[in-house]
Amino acid sequence: MDFDFSPVVTNWRFLASGLVLTIVLALASMTGATLVGTAVGIARHYGPRWLGLVLALYIDSMRAIPVLVVLVLPMIVDIQLSPFATGLVALTAHLGAYVAEIVRAGIASIRPGQTRAALALGMSRVQVVRKIVLPQAIVRMLPAYGSILSITIKDTAIATVIAVPELMRQSETIAAQSFRPLEVFTTTMLVFFLLLFPVTRGVDAVYRRVQHLGRS
């Protein structure tokens, strides 16, 4: 069997633009999911019961439906969004539910005694959440949050089905044009691995350093 990596080499700019978009989409989705998830998670823990039920339905629905389905679902509304915008909205909605669960579990894991101690000092409920509960919860959330980060990067590859020109999509195009899927896809695999591995490891390392800040 002879290998020919020239399609990868000659089209490196095209592939690199895909990699850039993969990273941009992942960061944007993660930012969106963090905002949505934090709000939903806090509302679910501290909010009224009816709101909690509504939010639980949102979260459980997102856990029940595949990302691929969530990605194509925006097509049912008659608004013309770019593939990138569609992907961003879908991934934010999907991952936001997971982040919400992590935030809620993080808050719930802080002993009630911590809240009591802060209240005893005379802090308001809002101050207790902001100054005492959330800072500790964030530390405890880090490992789960880190795995969401790598899931996000992996999920961006699924956005290929709605033609977002990220790395997966660009690789498919080159593979089809050059009839060299082995070389192209193997290269893409390596690139994704090199992107994801440091992320996973980096989060672990950060967590080990700050772990004690969340241990009450």
Partner 1 sequence: MTAYARIGAGTQPVIVYHEVVKRYGSFTALDRVSGQVNRGEVVCLIGPSGSGKSTLLRCTNALEPFDGGRVLFDGVELPRAESEARHVRRRMGMVFQNFELFPHMTALDNVAVGRVTVLGEAKAAARKRARSLLAKVGLSDKEASYPATLSGGQQQRVAIARALAMDPEVMLFDEPTSALDPETIGEVLNVMKQLADEGMTMVVVTHEMTFARRVGNWIIVFDHGRIVEEGPPAQIFDRPREQRTKDFFSHLGWGG
Partner 2 sequence: MNLDWTVAWQYRFMLAEGVLVTVLLTVFTMAIAVPGGIVVMLARQSRFAPLRMAGTAYVEFFRNLPLILLVYWAFYVLPMIVDIQLSPFATGLVALCLNVSAYNAETFRAGVNSIRRGQHNAGLALGMSQWQVMGRIVLPQAVRRILPVLASTWVSLFKDTSLVSVIAVGDLAHNALQIRSQTFRVLEMLTVMAAIYWCLGYPQAKLVDWMHRRFGVSE
Pair 122, 59: CB distance under 8 Å:
no
Which DSSP category does 73 fall into? G
Query: Residue 121 in 3-state DSSP?
Result: coil
Which phi and psi (to 5°) does residue 162 adopt?
-110, 20
Is 200 a binding residue for partner 2 by CB under 8 A? The answer is yes
Q: Token match 């709101």: residue?
A: 51
CB burial of residue 50 (10 Å; 0-12, 13-18, 19+): exposed
Q: Give least dist CB 173 to partner 1, A.
A: 48
Q: Give least dist CB 200 to partner 2, A.
A: 6
In the list 25, 67, 90, 141, the residue contacting partner 2 (rule: CB under 8 A) is 67
Is 175 a binding residue for partner 2 by CB under 8 A? The answer is yes
Axis-axis angle for helices 134-156, 12-46 (nearest 10): 140
Q: Token match 């672990």: residue?
A: 204
Binding mask 118-147 for partner 1 (x = CB under 8 A): xxxxxxxx-x---xx--xx--x--------
In the list 60, 111, 124, 213, the residue contacting partner 2 (rule: CB under 8 A) is 60
Q: Give least dist CB 162 to partner 2, A.
A: 11
In the list 17, 109, 114, 200, the residue contacting partner 1 (rule: CB under 8 A) is 114
Is 69 a binding residue for partner 2 by CB under 8 A? The answer is yes
Is 199 a binding residue for partner 1 by CB under 8 A? The answer is no
Q: Give least dist CB 49 to partner 1, A.
A: 18
- What sign does the dihedral 201-138-23-89 (CA atoms) show? positive
Instruction: Summarize as ranges the residues that interact with partner 1 (CB under 8 A).
Output: 111, 113-114, 116-125, 127, 131-132, 135-136, 139, 212-216
